[in-house]
Amino acid sequence: MNSFSAGFPDQNVQILDGGKLLSRGASEEWWRGAVIYQVYPRSFADGNGDGVGDLPGLLGKLDYIAGLGVDAIWISPFQRSPQEDYGYDVSDYCDVDPLFGTLADFDRVLARAHALGLRVLMDQVWSHSSNRHPWFLESRASRGNAKSNWYVWADPAPDGTAPSNWLSVFGGPAWSWEPRRRQYYLHHFLASQPAFNLHNPEVVEALMEIGRFWLDRGVDGFRLDAVDWMCHDPSLRGNPSAHHPGDPIPAKPFGMQLHQNDLLHPRTLDVLRSIRSLQDEYPGVTTLAEVSSQDGAFDRLRRYTGEGMLDMAYTLRFMRGPLCHETVASTLRWMSEHAVGWPCWAFSNHDVERVASRWNPQRGQPGYSDSEAPASPTFLRMLMAMLLCLRGSICVYQGEELGLPEASLRQEELRDPFGISFWPDYKGRDGSRTPMPWSANASAAGFSEGQPWLPVPLAHRVMAVDVQEQDAESPLASWRDFLQFRREQPALVRGSLQALELPAPLVGFTRTQGEQTMICVFNLSETAERAVLPGTRGARQAWGSNARLGRAAKGGRQCILEAHGAIVLEAARGTT
């Protein structure tokens, strides 16, 4: 029997020589402060040359992920699916889609990841299924079968129209007609993604059985998709308008409503408690919830991760707005004021524009042609340090460690139904889902020997892994170095956070764990800035990028940050 310890010193995870997980370890909170690497398997690595990434491809790249210094991986959906929403429409929750491999392939990924000290989280899409799932096929057949109430069904209004004014995120009504039942069914996204009726305890328990299937197999936790969409108002009351007369009509009508009744229902908390009870059956596993960008996102994050609830949650809210002093400072104040619950922070994922483009300060300036223009190395290092210094756990999206910009695709290259529907006002999610570039000069940048399902941008080839591994100043080298640095600082992993009141464009905070206090300051602008940091007279510079400590001043040391500078200080013991 072998044992390994990864991430935190109190872990003691035991595995067999063959890699099968025996015990998830004495530490039931390995996730607290963990760095989780998100793999979008379609685009990570193709093991069979069909142009689509798969589990054998992922298996071959696990050593690379472990070499970054992360603690876990989150694998986006690979269960059986018609792939109309690219895996987020599941037709069999307990099998692997042949596109990605087999259950045996997944077992090999799990065993190798555990042998490398990586925990494995998998996506669970429990707010809706595919319309090809056997449960839905039975439910739609009649009003009197055993699963007739497993999805959300409703009679038409007296004039034959939909039961309510609810809208789909992907455009149009959130209701589709089913002639077999003479009723409408609810779908928050595509019409092929019918919503579960999670007010029905039988459905909740069936989903918990799915969870047990994967947890018994050795999975270390779940990322829970679209939690805010899990429960609706059973009385189907209409949503009020959020649109003011005279305002322009948006491309996405979903934004014209206040979503008070179609989602965010209090019953969601009961469903999450059921998931927590399942989790408690398997000590050492974790749960990570996705919180939408709807108003009140940070408060929901806090409630979803409170006592007796899930472990972690991240919100798309922070990934929607601009990178500005007001947004960052208000978020830091929120973290200072709400120490209960545990956030997980992400700057990029498969649903949003890549952060290297979204927040690039050069965007819109003369000479900045499109989203593929690279961000400056100092800007990328500042984003990296800010993300990895925040209180909470961290999600890193594949390619973020390379500084990849958003891919600019032509309309005919799109696969995302969301982008196809709303082009050109919204170009969809494919720009963040293009293949991972492994080798600059290889076919499809080393992603596949076949024609990739999405094109590999030329701008990504020059940022390929093999290029960056030869450059000690590359974004990849910076991520590896900083992740190692962070691992050695208890305050940055699990410490409390207190926001610093700094003048714009500077933002900063302290992280404290036991006797260690780290002081983190970031310059959000392209202009050099100076600030005196109170209580830092004896502090030492632990890490810096485009920044340095200046002379001593009254009450502390002067901090000098050039354009997008970032600095991390360690306070002298007993001075904070």
Predicted confidence (pLDDT) per residue in 382-420, tens digit: 999 999 999 999 999 999 999 999 999 999 999 999 999
456 has a pLDDT exceeding 90? yes
121 bridge partner residues: 74, 221
pLDDT confidence of residue 532? 87
Do the domain assignments include residue 386? yes
Average pLDDT of the chain, as a whole number: 92
- CATH number, domain of 277, equals 3.20.20.80
Rounded distance between C-alpha atoms, residue 38 and residue 51, angstroms: 20
pLDDT at 176: 98
Q: What is the pLDDT of residues 190-244, one digit of tens each?
A: 999 999 999 999 999 999 999 999 999 999 999 999 999 999 999 999 999 999 9
Is 176 among the domain residues? no
Query: What is the pLDDT confidence band of residue 16, given thresholds at 50, 70 and 90?
Result: very low
Strands (E), 245-303: 286-291
The last residue of a domain, from among 457, 486, 515: 486
148's torsion region: left (phi>0), alpha (psi -120 to 50) or beta? alpha
The pLDDT confidence band at residue 366, using thresholds 50, 70 and 90, is low
pLDDT at residue 25, rounded to an integer: 52
Inter-residue contact 373 to 356 (CB < 8 Å): no
Residue 344: CA count within 13 A, CB half-sphere: 31
Residue of 46, 123, 178, 225 marked active site: 225
Structure tokens of 58?
């992922």
Q: What is the pLDDT averaged over residues 127-144?
A: 98
Q: What is the pLDDT of residue 319?
A: 86
Per the residue annotation, which of 281, 326, 501, 515 is the catalytic one? 281
Residues 390 and 350 in one domain: yes
Count of domains in the chain? Answer: 2
Which of 486, 517, 537 is the last residue in one of the domains? Answer: 486
Q: Is the pLDDT of residue 53 over 50?
A: yes
556 lies in some domain: yes
| Pairing label, strands 540-553, 153-154 | unpaired
Residues linked to residue 288 through DSSP beta bridges, in sequence order:
223, 312
Strand pairing category for 35-39 and 21-23? unpaired
pLDDT band at 22 (very low <50, low <70, confident <90, very high): very low
Is there a single domain that holds both residue 507 and residue 409?
Answer: no
Sort 563 into a burial class: Cβ within 10 Å, 0-12 / 13-18 / 19+: middle
- Asked if residue 77 is part of any domain, the answer here is yes
In a domain? residue 297:
yes
- Inside any domain, residue 216: yes
Higher-pLDDT residue of 271, 17: 271
- For residues 405 and 349, membership in a common domain is answered with yes
Based on the domain organization, do 476 and 509 belong to the same domain? no
- Torsional sign, CA 374, 66, 305, 151: positive
CA–CA gap between residue 366 and residue 416 (Å, rounded): 30
Residues 384 and 516 grouped into a single domain: no
Q: Are residues 401 and 501 in the same domain?
A: no
Domain-located, residue 132: no
State the pairing for strand pair 2-4/13-15: antiparallel
Please indicate, yes or no, whether residues 296 and 407 belong to a single structural domain of this protein: yes
* Separation between Cα atoms, residue 92 and residue 96, nearest integer Å: 8
Catalytic-residue membership of 225: yes
pTM value is: 0.94
Q: Look up the CATH number of the domain holding residue 561.
A: 2.60.40.1180
Question: Which domain range does residue 525 map to?
Answer: 495-570
Determine the residue type at 128: H
Which two three-digit tokens encode residue 387? Answer: 């993300």
- pLDDT band of residue 529 (cuts 50, 70, 90) is very high
437 part of a folded domain: no
Residue 403 sits in the same domain as residue 517: no
